[in-house]
Structure 1
Amino acid sequence: MSGHDVNPFVDPVDVNPFQDASITQATRGLDKIDEYNPFSSPAGKHSDTTIPVSESSSQPAILQTSVEQSPRATAAAAQTDLIRKQEELEKKAADLEKREEEFQNRTTIGSTSTGTKENNWPPLPRFSPVKPCFYQDFEEEIPEEYRRLCRRMYYLWMFHSVTLFLNVLGCLAYFTADDNSGVDFGLSILWFLLFTPVSFICWYRPIYKAFRADSSFSFFFFFFVFFFQVSVYIIQSVGIPRWGNSGWISSISMIRVNLAVAVVMMVVAGFFTVNAIVAVILLKMVHAKYRRTGASFNKAQQEFSHGVLSNRSVQTVAAGAATSVAQGTLGRS
Structure 2
Amino acid sequence: MAGRYDRNPFEPEEEEVNPFSDPVVRAQATKPSYGGGGLFNDPVSNSRLSPLPHEPAFSGVDDATVDIPLGAGKDLKKKEKELKAREEELRRREQDLKRREEAAERAGIRIEKKNWPPFINILHHDIANDIPAHSRGLQRWAYASWLGILLCLFWNFICVTAAWIGGVGGVSIFLLGIVYMLSGYVLSYFLWYKPLYRAMRSDSVLRFGWFVMFYLLHIAFCVYAAVAPPFIFKGKSLAGIITAIDIFSSNIIIGIFYVVGFALFTLESLLSIWVLKGVVQYFRGEGAAAEMKRNAAASRVAI
1:40 match: none
Instruction: Name which of 106, 111, 116 aligns with 1:117.
Output: 111
**Which whole-Å CA distance do the structure 1 matches of 2:125 and 2:168 have between them?**
44
**Which whole-Å CA distance do the structure 2 matches of 1:233 and 1:224 have between them?**
15
The alpha-carbon deviation at position 286 of structure 1 amounts to: 0.8
2:239 match: 246
The alpha-carbon deviation at position 212 of structure 1 amounts to: 0.6
**Which whole-Å CA distance do the structure 2 matches of 1:113 and 1:249 have between them?**
61
Task: List gaps (5 residues or longer) in structure 2.
Answer: 1-93, 102-109, 287-303
User: What percentage of aligned pairs have identical amino acids?
Assistant: 23
**Which whole-Å CA distance do the structure 2 matches of 1:176 and 1:234 have between them?**
27
Q: Aligned letter for 2:220?
A: S
Question: Is the contact made by 2:222 and 2:266 (CA closer than 8 Å) also made in structure 1?
Answer: yes
Query: Any residues of structure 2 matched to 1:85-100 within 5 Å, and which?
Result: none
**Which whole-Å CA distance do the structure 2 matches of 1:249 and 1:272 have between them?**
13
The alpha-carbon deviation at position 256 of structure 1 amounts to: 1.1
1:288 match: 281
1:171 match: 160
Q: CA 1:112 to 1:281, structure 2 compared with 1: closer, same or farther past 3 Å?
A: farther
Q: CA 1:180 to 1:170, structure 2 compared with 1: closer, same or farther past 3 Å?
A: closer
**Which whole-Å CA distance do the structure 1 matches of 2:277 and 2:133 have between them?**
19
Instruction: Name which of 250, 258, 262 aligns with 1:265.
Output: 258
1:68 match: none
**Which whole-Å CA distance do the structure 2 matches of 1:240 and 1:268 have between them?**
14
Question: Is the contact made by 2:116 and 2:125 (CA closer than 8 Å) also made in structure 1?
Answer: no
Q: How many residues align?
A: 179
1:187 lines up with 2:176 in the alignment: yes
Query: Tell me, what secondary structure is at the counterpart of 1:254?
Result: helix
**Which whole-Å CA distance do the structure 2 matches of 1:121 and 1:186 have between them?**
31
For the aligned residues, what is the CA RMSD? 2.3
**Which whole-Å CA distance do the structure 2 matches of 1:161 and 1:173 have between them?**
19
Query: Which portions of structure 1, spanning 4 or more consecutive aligned residues, are displaced by more than 6 angstroms?
Result: none
**Which whole-Å CA distance do the structure 2 matches of 1:208 and 1:163 have between them?**
21
**Which whole-Å CA distance do the structure 1 matches of 2:137 and 2:198 have between them?**
15
Query: Any residues of structure 2 matched to 1:15-54 within 5 Å, and which?
Result: none
The alpha-carbon deviation at position 198 of structure 1 amounts to: 1.3
- Identify the structure with bigger relative contact order (alpha carbons < 8 Å, sequence gap 6+): 2
1:226 match: 215
Q: Aligned letter for 1:165?
A: F
Query: Any residues of structure 2 matched to 1:16-165 within 5 Å, and which?
Result: 114-115=100-101, 117-125=111-119, 132=122, 134-165=123-154
Q: Aligned letter for 1:120?
A: K
Question: Is the contact made by 1:117 and 1:135 (CA closer than 8 Å) also made in structure 2?
Answer: no
Question: Is the contact made by 2:168 and 2:250 (CA closer than 8 Å) also made in structure 1?
Answer: no
TM-score (norm 2): 0.55
